[in-house]
Structure 1
Amino acid sequence: MDPESAEPLIVVDGANVVGSVPDGWWRDRRGAATRLRDALAARDVATVPAVLLGAITLVVEGAARGVPPVAGVRVEAAPQSGDDHIVALVADNVGRRPVVVVTADRELRQRVRELGASIVSPGELRASISYGGRRESI
């Protein structure tokens, strides 16, 4: 399949995006990842920037493992390092379709860029979905 015609893969570094909002996420990592997953699933594709249109894979790790997928968002629990899992996803897909990684982690950004992925910051993602972290008070 021609990479230009394949649906892009958007890989979201769940820990990095959740950690970019100081809302008490550390008290309930799985709940924070679930809220992010739900916001990704509810995104309005008519208003999302073109760079964020594609198949969404949310990578979770540690205490956030166990978040199930929902329609429109695949969830993968990293068996070890979330960064290593993201790099493996990029390596498996970048030759077949465009890949965008959402993270602010400098080392991870460098690793996936070297493989050919594009980068979007957590702030850019949060600006395009209704995820500002926890809605109820902590």
Structure 2
Amino acid sequence: MPLLVVDAANVVGSVPDGWWRDRQGAAERLRDALAHVARRGLADHGGAPERYRGGPLEVVLVVEGAARGVTGVPGVEVVAAAGSGDDRIVGIVGDALARRPQRDCLVVTADRGLRARVTALGAGVTGPRAVWPARSGTQTD
């Protein structure tokens, strides 16, 4: 099953919808929307590779800071970074690819530094737009 690792801070921060007033609530809304992605895959726009456009996907949402209290739901594992979310994402990707070097692994972030770090490990990257339809609630089951 392909692995999708989502940089919560970066995705939540990519749309100026008032997320800064309730970081945990914004991360919970993203988590809930990603449960759909786990079942159905990413929408066919936003630059996501074809193999991620159908489900199921293993989805890991990495949260940090004020969003560390977010918990997982069926289909979405939530990992709270004790420090840097970027470092935790790199660790998750590195561990996954060390266990299964040929595994499909895609990181959702627009952070250039993080993108460089995970591609050096062998992961693919896509931007927050890949999950925007799910985030805005326009996709349904």
Query: The TM-score by the shorter chain falls in which range?
Result: 0.7 to 0.9
Per the alignment, residue 100 of structure 1 pairs with 106
Per the alignment, residue 89 of structure 1 pairs with 92
Shift of 1:47: 6.7
Per the alignment, residue 114 of structure 1 pairs with 120
Instruction: Tell me, in whole angstroms, the C-alpha distance in 2 between the residues paired with 1:88 and 1:11.
Output: 11
Could you tell me which amino acid in structure 2 is paired with residue 45 of structure 1?
A: R
In the alignment, is residue 38 of structure 1 matched against residue 39 of structure 2? no
C-alpha contact (below 8 Å) 1:58/1:75 kept by paired residues: yes
Could you tell me which amino acid in structure 2 is paired with residue 132 of structure 1?
A: S
Which deviates further from its counterpart, 106-115 or 47-56? 47-56
Query: Identical aligned pairs, as a percentage?
Result: 57
Instruction: Tell me, in whole angstroms, the C-alpha distance in 2 between the residues paired with 1:47 and 1:115.
Output: 22
Instruction: Tell me, in whole angstroms, the C-alpha distance in 2 between the residues paired with 1:101 and 1:34.
Output: 19
Per the alignment, residue 18 of structure 1 pairs with 12
TM-score, normalization by structure 1: 0.84
- Which stretches in structure 2 are left out of the alignment for 5+ residues? 45-50
What secondary structure sits across from 1:113 in the alignment? helix
**Runs of 4+ off more than 6 Å:** none
1:93/1:47 Cα in 2 relative to 1: closer, same or farther (>3 Å)? closer
C-alpha contact (below 8 Å) 1:12/1:101 kept by paired residues: yes
What secondary structure sits across from 1:107 in the alignment? helix
Instruction: Tell me, in whole angstroms, the C-alpha distance in 2 between the residues paired with 1:46 and 1:122.
Output: 14
TM-score, normalization by structure 2: 0.82
Please list, as runs of the form range in 1=range in 2, the aligned pairs for 1:50-89 lying within 5 A after superposition: 50-51=51-52, 53=55, 54-89=57-92
Per the alignment, residue 130 of structure 2 pairs with 124
Instruction: Tell me, in whole angstroms, the C-alpha distance in 1 between the residues paired with 2:109 and 2:124.
Output: 10
Q: After superposition, what is the alpha-carbon deviation per residue over 1:5-35, rounded to whole angstroms, capped at 9, x for unaligned? A: xx11100000000000101101100000000
In the alignment, is residue 8 of structure 1 matched against residue 2 of structure 2? yes
- Which stretches in structure 1 are left out of the alignment for 5+ residues? 1-6, 134-138
C-alpha contact (below 8 Å) 1:21/1:132 kept by paired residues: no
1:101/1:46 Cα in 2 relative to 1: closer, same or farther (>3 Å)? closer
Q: Which structure dedicates a bigger proportion of its chain to helix?
A: 2
